[in-house]
Amino acid sequence: MAQMARTPRWTAHAAGLQAVWRGTLAGTVAATFLFVPPAALAQVDVGKPSSLRNLVPADQLEGSAAQQYGDLKRQAAAKGALAPDNHPQVRRLRDIAAKIIPFAGKWNPRAGHWRWEVNLIGSRQINAFCMPGGKIAFYTGILDTLKLTDDEVAMIMGHEIAHALREHARERIAKNELTNLGASLLGEFLGGGKYTGAFQLGSSFLSLKFSRDDESEADVVGMELGARAGFDPRAGVSLWQKMAAASRGAPPQWLSTHPSGSNRIQEIERHLPQVMPLYQQAAKR
């Protein structure tokens, strides 16, 4: 787990910490899931998810992620670094999430049953993530250092949600464990699933490194999610320009698990014609 930076102490009542993603916001999201507009049926094509992910039970993975996320919140709260529910940036993040999440279900039916959470952690880290099961966190460093607009926040959030929806962590753990166990067991995994569920899920989700293909896929899906929610997908370009500028010194933490790649902006620009009509349609609503 990354070391928490010292930050001014926020007052956070225990009842508030238990109320994350409940009440009005949770009700809004649950209700909106039922009323996704018909236009949402057309979507960008990134192919089928890897079948290797099926070697890791989704329920166990999401349970492990929920436990790690809870540990992270408790550590942050103990250091006064977990922002309270009424913090302006928390409200901002949750408002953006409430617009994006209703479009998640068509990418992964499990998303309709996830207990989504969005939290803000006080730290200079330039970082954000979405764990399996919809556990989202932003660090104040990524908001403050990059001075993100709402559209840019939506591109980051959409990207992170896309990793969870496409189950990249599930796939990555399966591949890592197969490598550790040896190729001789591969046939037993794929034929009959004798060892299904035997993988160790104790590794930190925050340290998983995704492949270049995973990153490209998350960019495209994230742009689509954000565009449907009414956020300008062109913000993906300005976001990566800001990220590149920030990486000239010490590389941001986000880049340790989300490598930039020299052609990332070009790839985003290449897919803009696919998602801009979705944004323009959403802007009319």
Indicate which residues carry an active-site annotation.
160
What region, left, alpha or beta, does residue 47 occupy, with left being phi > 0 and alpha being psi -120 to 50 degrees? left
Residues 145, 210, 133, CA angle at the centre, nearest 5°?
85
Q: Which residues pair with 131 in a beta bridge?
A: 135
Q: Which residues pair with 67 in a beta bridge?
A: none
H or E segment to which residue 135 belongs: strand 135-139
Residue 146 in contact with residue 75, Cβ under 8 Å?
no
Residue 272 in contact with residue 256, Cβ under 8 Å?
no
Pairing outcome for strands 135-139 and 117-121: parallel
Grouping H, G, I as helix, E, B as strand and the rest as coil, residue 197 is coil
Phi, psi of 170, deg, nearest 5: -60, -45
Alpha-carbon distance of 72 to 181, in angstroms, equals 29
- Per-residue CA distances from 217 to 9, 48, 113, 273 (Å): 38, 11, 23, 16
Sign of CA pseudo-dihedral 27, 31, 33, 39:
negative
